[in-house]
């Protein structure tokens, strides 16, 4: 029950950048990142259909742009140079976007992989409207994945956590069940189905965790991953206290409850993963001298601006916008070079209450180590 393969970011970066990785990072040479993360702008009116208390983007301005056509064109111009396309959001739900399937089909037409991060409530509906699950099952290759935030074992706690009154919990299960069935029926590998579960005081009793694990097994998903919520960005507390909020939580209790739940559920076919808290985020970030995250990822925020990472999605003054570039490969390369420039300091994120996510922490830590090795002449 440890964090492992699908979440091993260093291995992923190594396999993308190859044997030259250390040299390339040390010398800050240009490289296409491993992935581009696209925060599709909801349905252009609503950012999301839920109101989760733990939402990382709840303090952001939540700007939405109209840039989907340019985004799709950009993926075609890039061909397979950036091999992974991640459809996600910090305050937006990708399944709300009418052009999501068009994006994913462009990804696959260019021989790339996709990851879709969703709350899952609209999976069922989109199958009914446009056969989305059938189409996804037909075009996916087993490496592609759909990550669904389950976050509860019972409908009542689900409603509280997601800030809704409806029975969307059942819709999520219906959607996952249908997706599993479609995969089987197509006889193809289909997308990996991963459930995620953010633990908090409302959803972490042994009974509730056991129910979620049993459901995961019943639904034939590949994995379920338990973790603690990332503190919302731009929280009005001093950043060091933000990490304390998480570390002083009930992490030990939660972990013990999860162990009890695992003993009773005894899952055989689903991988159960646990990711430790990010309690040391502030201390770690304070020691970072540069940000290397854009070697892993380039981000387009819901407002249509490019970002160095997915943690901040507003206050983009001066950030390039997708609607302003000519969509020639050379223009896209300039944006990537802008994101990878070495003078960007993590301290400027900290000063605005913006903290690295798990991937950013891991990769910036790796690069800081490479830099120290260089200084030591090794
Ligand atoms: S579903 Fe995701 S984007 Fe929507 S409110 Fe919840 S955490 Fe935020
Ligand atoms: S939050 Fe972290 S990963 Fe994101 S730009 Fe700042 S330093 Fe880089």
DSSP letter for 374, please: H
**What pLDDT shows up at residue 142?**
86
- Phi-psi group of 353: left, alpha or beta (phi > 0 → left; psi -120 to 50 → alpha; rest → beta): left
| Rounded Cα distance, 128 and 192, in Å | 21
Task: Give the distance (Å) from ligand 1 centre to CA of residue 159.
Answer: 13
User: pLDDT at position 139, please?
Assistant: 93
- C-alpha span between 192 and 115 (Å, rounded): 9
Cα–Cα distance, 140 to 145 (Å, whole number): 8
Q: What is the pLDDT of residue 4?
A: 54
Nearest-angstrom CA–CA distance, 306 and 334: 12
What whole-number distance in Å separates Cα of residue 314 and Cα of residue 299? 12
What's the pLDDT score for residue 333?
A: 97
- Look at the domain 5-375 and name its fold: TIM Barrel (3.20.20)
pLDDT at 237: 55
- Rounded distance, CA 189 to CA 78, Å? 26
The one-digit pLDDT tens for each residue of the chain (378 residues) are 554 556 788 999 999 999 989 889 888 899 999 999 999 999 999 999 999 988 988 888 899 999 999 999 999 999 999 999 999 999 999 999 999 999 999 999 999 999 999 999 999 999 999 999 999 999 999 899 999 999 999 999 999 999 999 889 999 999 999 999 988 777 667 899 999 999 988 899 999 999 999 999 999 899 999 998 776 777 655 555 555 455 555 778 888 999 999 999 988 999 999 987 766 677 788 889 889 999 999 999 999 999 999 887 766 678 899 999 999 999 999 999 999 987 788 888 888 888 888 889 889 998 888 888 877 776
Yes or no: say if 222 and 273 are a contact pair by the CB < 8 Å rule.
no
pLDDT at 67: 97
- Kindly list the protein residues whose Cβ atom lies closer than 6 A to any atom of ligand 2: 291, 293, 308-309, 311, 346, 349, 354, 356, 360
Instruction: Output the CA angle 2-89-302, nearest 5 degrees.
Output: 160
Query: In terms of Cα–Cα distance, which of 67, 58, 61 is closest to 40?
Result: 67
Residue nearest to atom 8 of ligand 1 (CA): 55
What's the pLDDT score for residue 167? 85
Name the closest-CA residue to atom 3, ligand 1.
91
Q: Are 200 and 277 in contact (CB under 8 A)?
A: no
CA distance linking residue 224 with residue 226, whole number of Å: 7
Q: What is the DSSP code (8-state) at residue 321? A: B
CA–CA separation, 240 and 357 (whole Å)? 15
Q: What is the pTM of this model?
A: 0.94
Q: For the chain, what are the domain ranges?
A: 5-375
Comparing C-alpha atoms, which of 232, 217, 191, 199 is closest to residue 87? 191
Which residues have C-beta atoms less than 6 Å from ligand 1? 48, 50-52, 55, 57, 89, 91-93, 119
Q: Give the closest residue (by CA) to ligand 2 atom 4.
A: 309
Extended beta strands in 262-377, E state: 271-274, 297-300, 306-307
Residue to probe by mutation, ligand 2, list 231, 349, 361, 362, most atoms within 8 Å of CB? 349
């Amino acid at each position: 029950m440890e964090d492992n393969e699908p979440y091993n970011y260093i291995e992923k970066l190594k396999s993308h950048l190859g044997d030259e990785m250390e040299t390339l990072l040390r010398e800050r040479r240009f490289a296409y990142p491993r992935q581009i993360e696209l925060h599709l702008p909801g349905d252009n009116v609503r950012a999301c259909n839920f109101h989760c208390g733990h939402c990382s983007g709840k303090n952001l301005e939540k700007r939405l742009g109209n840039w989907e056509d340019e985004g799709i064109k950009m993926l075609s111009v890039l061909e397979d140079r950036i091999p992974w396309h991640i459809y996600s959001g910090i305050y937006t739900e990708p399944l709300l976007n009418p052009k999501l399937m068009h994006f994913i089909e462009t990804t696959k037409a260019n021989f790339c992989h996709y990851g879709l991060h969703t709350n899952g409530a609209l999976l069922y509906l989109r199958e009914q409207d446009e056969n989305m699950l059938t189409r996804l099952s037909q075009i996916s290759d087993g490496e592609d994945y759909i990550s669904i935030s389950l976050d509860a074992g019972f409908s009542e706690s689900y409603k509280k956590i997601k800030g809704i009154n409806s029975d969307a919990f059942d819709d999520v299960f219906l959607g996952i069940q249908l997706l599993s069935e479609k995969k089987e029926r197509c006889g193809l590998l289909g997308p990996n189905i991963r459930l995620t579960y953010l633990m908090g005081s409302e959803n972490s009793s042994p009974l509730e965790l056991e129910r979620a694990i049993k459901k995961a097994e019943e639904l034939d998903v590949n994995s379920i991953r338990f973790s603690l919520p990332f503190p919302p960005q731009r929280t009005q507390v001093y950043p060091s206290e933000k990490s304390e909020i998480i570390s002083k939580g009930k992490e030990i209790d939660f972990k013990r409850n999860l162990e009890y739940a695992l003993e009773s559920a005894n899952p055989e076919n689903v991988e159960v993963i646990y990711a430790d808290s990010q309690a040391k985020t502030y201390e770690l970030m304070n020691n970072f001298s540069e940000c290397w995250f854009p070697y892993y990822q380039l981000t387009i925020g819901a407002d249509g601006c490019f970002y160095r990472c997915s943690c901040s999605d507003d206050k983009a003054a001066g950030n390039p916008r997708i609607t302003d570039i000519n969509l020639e490969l050379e223009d896209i390369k300039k944006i990537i070079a802008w994101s990878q420039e070495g003078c960007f300091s993590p301290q400027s994120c900290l000063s605005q209450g913006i903290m690295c996510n798990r991937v950013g922490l891991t990769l910036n830590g790796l690069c800081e180590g490479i830099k120290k090795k260089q200084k030591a002449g090794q």
